[in-house]
Amino acid sequence: MRLPVRLDAVLVQALIAAALSFAHLHDLAAAAGQDGWKAWAYPVSVDLLLVAAWRRLRSGGSKAAGWCWFLVALIASLGANIATAGLLDLDAVPAWLRILVAGWPAVAFLGGTLLAHGSTEEPEAVPTPTTELVAVEAAPESAPPSVTPVPPALVTHARKVADEHHARTGTPIDTPTLRARLGVPMPLAEAIATQLT
């Protein structure tokens, strides 16, 4: 089965912007003395840091670290875009920029590690329950609990069910079985059982 590919204008724009930014980061790294595969690794590390920060922002956890590293990577990307736009002589890169480019891998590794392996949420402190002794007054002795009134027809039917159970099993019916067979609530089944004995 072939999935239909839908061309989205925003996706096309994102691909163009990513390609240009990628090229600018590569050109700046190459001008700062990083040649070969190292010059290509810089744009990859910036983009991966952006993706890791975006994932943290979308995860629903702590957003402070996500925003911090997103801004760091965004500044690196924008800085390369602006620097290669003619504001910087790529044939004579200043020493401070060479230092920044040389230090970027450590910064990207630190940010990526903290984003990937840092805690996303602070666990909430669970309050410890305190036991309080409450003085309970003894209830005065009362009359025995009142028996739930049971309609005579239901008692007659329950007696038939109980006799049937006794004939089949040889044992008297217990209250939970009586309740299940009659489909009545437990208090009513208990009241019926007291009238059957």
pLDDT tens column, 125-172: 556 655 566 666 665 666 555 667 888 888 899 999 999 999 999 999
Q: How far apart are CA 157 and CA 151, in angstroms?
A: 10
User: Given this model, what pLDDT does residue 88 score?
Assistant: 85
Residue 144 is given by DSSP the state: P
Which residue type, as a one-letter code, is found at position 183? G
pLDDT tens column, 60-80: 767 898 999 999 999 999 999
Q: How far apart are CA 157 and CA 179, in angstroms?
A: 12
Mean pLDDT for all residues in the chain: 85
Q: How far apart are CA 42 and CA 98, in angstroms?
A: 13
| Spans of all domains in the chain | 9-117, 152-196
Please return the burial class of 182, using the count of CB atoms within 10 Å of its CB with bins 0-12, 13-18 and 19+: middle
- Report the first-to-last Cα separation within the chain, whole angstroms: 72
C-alpha closest to that of 59 among 115, 125, 124, 109 = 115
User: Given this model, what pLDDT does residue 196 score?
Assistant: 85
Instruction: Give the global pTM.
Output: 0.55
Band the pLDDT of 18: cuts 50, 70, 90.
confident
User: Given this model, what pLDDT does residue 173 score?
Assistant: 92
Residue 187 and residue 148 in contact, taking contact as beta carbons nearer than 8 Å:
yes
Task: Output the six-digit token pair for 17.
Answer: 């912007």
User: Given this model, what pLDDT does residue 60 score?
Assistant: 73
Task: Output the six-digit token pair for 115.
Answer: 């984003």
Counting residues of the chain whose pLDDT is more than 90, the rounded percentage is 46
